[in-house]
Amino acid sequence: MKRIGLFGGSFDPIHKAHVEIAMCAIEQLHLDEVQLIPTRHNPWKNQSCASAQDRIEMIRIAIQDYPSLTINTIEIEDGGEDKNYTIHTIEKLIHQHPDVQYYYIMGMDQANAFDQWKKAKRISQLVHLIAFQRGGYQPHLDIINKYHFQLLENQPVYASSSDVRNGHIEMLDSNVLRYISYHGLYLETMVSSRMKEKRWKHTCSVAKLAKKIAKANHLDSRQAYIAGIMHDVAKEMDKDMAQKIMEKHFSEYLAKPYPIWHQWLSRYVSEHEFLIDDAVVLKAIEDHTTASIGISPIGKCLYVADKLDPLRGYDSSKQIEICLHDIHQGFRNSLIDFYEFSKRRTERLMNVFMKFTIFMLRKGKNK
């Protein structure tokens, strides 16, 4: 008789502990296969952050090197009712495959709350219930015994999807993280945990404006939005760490003033921590404070959005209108404003850009 493990969850997103648990179940229970079953609508959670399609895709990516792990989309495909309950899934699967022995596996948090599951007793009669140790959860033995749970011997892990969404990206498979960063999933909660609230508000506002300007100019608004969300990600980085990264990776810019280092550091974090590999996005982040001679149209969208952010407290609406109409003209205007502003000041920070700004302005429209 075939032995199949069923592992349901939001997988929003799937993380390393999910895969570890599934593999551990295969080994300890001698299963032929574990099917990961993403929920359409978890009865215990009101909303999930990523779409069903994205969650499925992330699971596919995470299990691609594990032939005994498969994905079963039965709950997502079943569009009949508002919420889907495990009992319905199990009954359906048993009906479709009466010759299979099913093992329903879950973490200790879920096992402890099993009394509240719809038709809990019936589920325990239909399948073998398996519970995994989970960091932070002691087994409630009354429930474990009542429903005849088998406890597996695994090292408790503290990973959770909500921790991932809040910035613990180290819990992710690197290809899943690439998918997340490319599509901009969860980036808002992931990045907001790295900065103070005021900067976070500015970041969101810049990302929104950069996206709007890109869209109005028929450019890739996804690239502009992601560059906007990431542009200040390293601005509050510890100074020693900043120094080390600059020395190792951007030594040619070490002599530049400290307040502009964050454009290279944010590029570095985006590329090496968030695994963003889109050269246009990375270059836009790198250009967002100083601009550069080779700045791209997306780079211009971010540059002007950062300068014209309505949260900066002055009326930038006319300049924004121009950018929406023609980003190249809007960018040029921003440079002129900066030039005029810098002429009135003598700080080193301003002076370092003057040569470049004059060059750009002389260059003409610079498309």
Ligand X SMILES: Nc1ncnc2c1ncn2[C@@H]1O[C@H](COP(=O)(O)OP(=O)(O)O)[C@@H](O)[C@H]1O
List interacting residues with ligand X (CB under 6 A).
9-11, 17-18, 21, 106-107, 109-110, 132, 134, 157, 159-162
CB of 217 to ligand X, least distance (A): 39
Q: Is 139 exposed, middle or buried (CB count within 10 Å of its CB: 0-12, 13-18, 19+)?
A: middle
Note the helical H segments in 30-97.
Answer: 52-62, 74-77, 86-96
CB of 162 to ligand X, least distance (A): 6
CB of 223 to ligand X, least distance (A): 30
Give the containing element (helix H, strand E) for 204: helix 197-216
How far is it, in rounded angstroms, from Cα 7 to Cα 152? Answer: 14
Report how far apart, in Å, the C-alpha atoms of 343 and of each of 330, 331, 337, 339, 359 are.
20, 18, 10, 6, 15
- CB-nearer residue toward ligand X: 23 or 352: 23
- CB-nearer residue toward ligand X: 18 or 211: 18
Cβ of 200: how many Cβ atoms within 10 Å? 16
- CB-nearer residue toward ligand X: 16 or 178: 16
CB of 21 to ligand X, least distance (A): 5
- CB-nearer residue toward ligand X: 167 or 310: 167
Note the helical H segments in 233-366.
Answer: 239-249, 258-272, 279-286, 297-308, 317-325, 327-343, 348-362
Following CA atoms 268, 12, 161, 109 in sequence, which dihedral angle do they give, to the nearest 10 degrees? -170
Cβ of 36: how many Cβ atoms within 10 Å? 24
CB of 8 to ligand X, least distance (A): 7
Whether 235 contacts 266, CB under 8 Å: yes
Find, among 44, 12, 29, 41, the residue nearest to 110 by Cα. Answer: 44
- CB-nearer residue toward ligand X: 34 or 227: 34
CB of 89 to ligand X, least distance (A): 14
Query: To 5 degrees, how large is the angle CA 112–CA 113–CA 119?
Result: 125
- CB-nearer residue toward ligand X: 68 or 366: 68
- CB-nearer residue toward ligand X: 33 or 220: 33
Whether 133 contacts 151, CB under 8 Å: yes
CB of 134 to ligand X, least distance (A): 3
- CB-nearer residue toward ligand X: 107 or 228: 107
Q: Is 105 helix (H, G, I), strand (E, B) or coil?
A: strand
CB of 153 to ligand X, least distance (A): 13
